[in-house]
Each structure stands twice: as structure tokens, then as C-alpha cells.
Amino acid sequence: MSSLPNSSAVHSVTKEFLAFVLGDETYALDIMSVKEIRGYEPVTKIANAPNYIKGVINLRGDIVPIVDLRIKFGVGEPSYNEWTIVIMLNIKDRILGIVVDGVSDVMNFEEEDIKPAPEFGAAFDSRYLDGLAAVDDLMVIVVDIEALVSSEELGLFDTVDTV
């Protein structure tokens, strides 16, 4: 029984994360929610939408919204050029794209690599953060992308409105 005291550490769940850059900060999100990565293309503006919702695009017949996290959280400069990247996410059976400054790497973190985030420090509200992880000298902010995307604050989905 006591022969394997560290079994939990050895078999700890390793998850893969996609690291992306917003301004000077590096963020990471669960790679399982990533559908594809593509370049920024012109969008169709939507009426009555906040400024960080750039509009919608045609993704092979689906009309999907594009959100610029840089505008929403005030990090980096919202510029659009040929290097601007859109990460297409598939969350709760819905597709959306988030505009980021760049995609850096795929990283492996174990659960205990991710330390709780302090209340301040990241542009994101700590509700939407899983925590912080250190890769060499770099601090990576691990985002709970599902919580962020479905949050009321972002207003991407209709709130419980069954009319």
C-alpha cells in the first residue's frame, strides 16, 4: 500500500496547451478546444455589437464571430496585418475565433505546474484563469477559455433567454 507514495505525481494528468501572445504577455489555452489556426481576414461588421467583437466570417458555411481579445482586455495594439492570427475555437459545440498577436508554442503542463494566480497581474479577471505556469524564465498565464468565452461579460452567447 505504502510502496507507491508518489504515484499521484508520477501519473499526474499532463495536458497540452497552446501558447499565444497578446502584447507582451504569453497566454495558454487548452489545446483540445482549438479547432484550427488561420490568418486574419476581413470580417462583416455586426450591428449592436461591442467593439471587441470584430464581426463574423464564413467558415465553410458556418457564420462564426471573431473576437479581438486585445481590445477587450486592453493589451497590445489591435493592428491587423498578414501576421495577425485568429485561433478558431470549438467550445460547447459553438465555433468562434479569437484574434491574437501570435501563436508561440504547444506546451505540456502537469496539474501541479499551474500555480494559482494572484488577484491582479493579468489583464483577465482571475475568474477566467486556471493559474500561472513557469516555462524557464517565461511566465505563462493559463486561461480557462471555456469560462471566458461563455461568460456573460463577453456577451457572445445568448444568456438564458428562452423566448
Report the interface residues with another protein, using CB under 8 A: 42-49, 55-58, 61-65, 94-96, 155-158, 163
The alpha-carbon radius of gyration of the chain (Å, integer) is 17
Looking at the Cβ atoms of 77 and 93, the one nearer to another protein is 93
The nearest distance, CB 153 to another protein, in angstroms, is 14
The alpha carbon torsion through 129, 131, 134, 135 (nearest 10 deg) reads -50
Closest among 84, 82, 47, 52 to 66, alpha carbons compared:
52
Cell 477566467 -> residue: 128
The nearest distance, CB 45 to another protein, in angstroms, is 6
The nearest distance, CB 15 to another protein, in angstroms, is 25
Looking at the Cβ atoms of 11 and 45, the one nearer to another protein is 45
Helix or strand run (H / E) with residue 70: helix 69-73
- Residue length, the chain? 163
The nearest distance, CB 56 to another protein, in angstroms, is 5
The nearest distance, CB 7 to another protein, in angstroms, is 42
Other Cβ atoms within 10 Å of 153 Cβ, number:
10
Looking at the Cβ atoms of 6 and 48, the one nearer to another protein is 48
Looking at the Cβ atoms of 65 and 131, the one nearer to another protein is 65
Looking at the Cβ atoms of 52 and 109, the one nearer to another protein is 52
Q: How far is the C-alpha of 58 from the C-alpha of 95, rounded, in Å?
A: 11
